[in-house]
């Protein structure tokens, strides 16, 4: 464990020039703790952005407190000794505090309170060597994020955000981290927390963090609920559009299969001049089998008038849709194609607009501007 000196345990002052109220500067191993080791006995480091030799050198300087000239006061009377030059260069806030402290007392000191003493030690150590151990990060990531923001240590702040994003952020702490991200000006982290809350809204609402936020920050709770309602609405709209695209794709495939049946023939159905072979290759059109049954029904149904039979009515609609997509009605072999084109001229404006919108959506979904039965000039007229 870290040997953080306590005021109650300090030895009597030995220097007459030093005030009795100020503890003496420590000897070696003042800030050290038992670090985790690998199988070969070497210390395990969670993160380092410098070479191993440099890292170990700065770690030794911090652990041994060699010629430390500033004391960091923490909660419960804890004291961590450090070097003013290093702290001042690593944090502009601490630098300003040290200047102010030097004006009023001979021995400089600063106070970091409101967080555990071990979190302060990990923070000060990071200012020396930009290192930490993973178990320390897991234990004090929230405190380190706050300290990094308050004392303007951007590389530590980024590292805390990264660790939260990639594993330390959970359902139980997401509400607390979300509020902290808003206070600490961490937009990416707040966005990630917001998405996690919306994705797991029902579960998050049962956590202690949500209940606490509901009491302390009701406005934020209201905004999250409204965001959830908006997200749910957008999700329903996305599902609706996906289902519509599926329908338009099925209609397009039906148009392809219809042309295929009446022009080329398929298995046991096709034009009268078509010779059917016993061993034909499987049809590549998925909608062909269902459409084949519909065509056979349409040919033999006694209630073939529109509205008389639901199956025949569907066939009438497919034939009319084909006629609106077909660009060559004079040589088209699909039945009633030319008749429907003549009928279109007599339709009401309301029906014409409805059919035109349907055709446009089908073409947009499939992007079939160069399809065999649709001319590019016809497609261009739909957008005029």
> What pLDDT, on a 0 to 100 scale, did the predictor assign at position 13?
40
Write out the residue range of the structural domain in which residue 70 sits: 51-133+143-163
Residue 111 belongs to a domain with what CATH number? 3.30.710.10
Per mean pLDDT, which range of 61-70, 119-128, 137-146, 286-295 is the poorest? Answer: 286-295
Nearest alpha carbon to residue 52 among 120, 132, 129: 129
Domain membership flag for residue 23: no
Give yes or no for residue 203 having a pLDDT over 50: yes
Question: Which of 280, 362, 139, 384 is CA-nearest to residue 374?
Answer: 362
SS3 content of the chain, % helix, strand, coil (to 5): 60, 5, 35
- If pLDDT is split at 50, 70 and 90, which confidence band does 306 have? low
Residue 217 placed within a domain: no
Q: What is the share, in percent, of the chain residues with pLDDT greater than 90? A: 36
Question: What pLDDT shows up at residue 122?
Answer: 94
pLDDT at position 1 is 40
pLDDT of residue 86: 92
pLDDT band at 359 (very low <50, low <70, confident <90, very high): confident
Contact in structure between 50 and 130 (CB atoms under 8 Å): yes
> Is 11 inside a domain boundary?
no
Which pLDDT belongs to residue 53?
82
Report whether pLDDT(151) > 90.
yes
CATH number, domain of 336, equals 1.20.1020.10
Given the structure tokens 């970091």, which residue do they identify?
A: 112
Same structural domain for residues 249 and 337? Answer: yes
Burial of 132 (0-12, 13-18, 19+ CB in 10 A): buried
Tokens of 224: 């999250």
Torsions phi, psi for 326 (to 5 deg): -75, 135
> 226 pLDDT band (50/70/90 cuts)?
very high
Q: What is the pTM of this model?
A: 0.61
In angstroms, rounded to a whole number, what is the distance separating the alpha carbons of residues 159 and 175?
A: 20
Asked if 16 contacts 105 with a C-beta cutoff of 8 angstroms, the reply is no
Query: Would you say residue 125 lies in a domain?
Result: yes
Task: Please state, in angstroms and rounded to a whole number, the distance separating the CA atoms of residues 325 and 259.
Answer: 11
In three-state form (DSSP H/G/I as H, E/B as E, the rest C), the secondary structure along 155-168 is HHHHHHHHHHHHHH
303, part of any domain: yes
């Amino acid at each position: 464990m870290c040997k953080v000196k306590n005021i109650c345990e300090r030895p009597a002052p030995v220097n007459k020039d030093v005030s009795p109220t100020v503890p003496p500067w420590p000897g070696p191993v003042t800030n050290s703790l038992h670090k985790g080791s690998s199988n070969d006995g070497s210390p395990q480091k969670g993160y380092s952005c410098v070479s191993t030799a440099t890292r170990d050198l700065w770690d030794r300087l911090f652990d041994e407190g060699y010629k430390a000239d500033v004391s960091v006061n923490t909660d419960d009377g804890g004291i961590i000794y450090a070097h003013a030059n290093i702290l001042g260069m690593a944090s502009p806030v601490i630098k300003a505090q040290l200047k102010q402290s030097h004006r009023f007392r001979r021995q400089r000191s600063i106070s970091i309170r409101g967080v555990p003493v071990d979190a302060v030690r990990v923070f000060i150590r990071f200012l020396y060597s930009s290192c930490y151990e993973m178990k320390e990060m897991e234990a004090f990531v929230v405190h380190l994020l706050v300290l990094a923001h308050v004392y303007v240590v951007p590389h530590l702040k980024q590292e805390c955000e990264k660790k939260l994003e990639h594993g330390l952020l959970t359902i139980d702490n997401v509400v607390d981290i979300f509020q902290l991200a808003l206070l600490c000006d961490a937009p990416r982290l707040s966005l990630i927390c917001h998405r996690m809350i919306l994705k797991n809204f029902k579960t998050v609402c049962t956590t202690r963090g949500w209940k606490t936020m509901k009491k302390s920050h009701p406005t934020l709770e209201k905004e999250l609920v409204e965001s959830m309602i908006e997200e749910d609405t957008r999700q329903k709209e996305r599902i609706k559009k996906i289902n519509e695209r599926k329908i338009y794709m099925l209609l397009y495939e039906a148009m392809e299969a219809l042309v295929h049946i009446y022009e080329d023939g398929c298995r046991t159905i096709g034009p009268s001049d078509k010779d059917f072979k016993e061993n034909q290759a499987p049809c590549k059109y998925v909608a062909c089998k269902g459409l084949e049954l519909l065509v056979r029904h349409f040919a033999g149904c006694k209630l073939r008038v529109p509205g008389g039979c639901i199956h025949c009515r569907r066939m009438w609609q497919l034939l009319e849709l084909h006629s609106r997509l077909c660009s060559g009605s004079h040589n088209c072999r699909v039945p009633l194609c030319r008749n429907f084109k003549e009928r279109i001229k007599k339709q009401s404006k309301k029906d014409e607009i409805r059919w035109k919108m349907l055709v446009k959506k089908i073409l947009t979904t499939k992007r079939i501007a160069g399809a065999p039965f649709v001319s590019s000039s016809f497609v261009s007229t739909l957008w005029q």
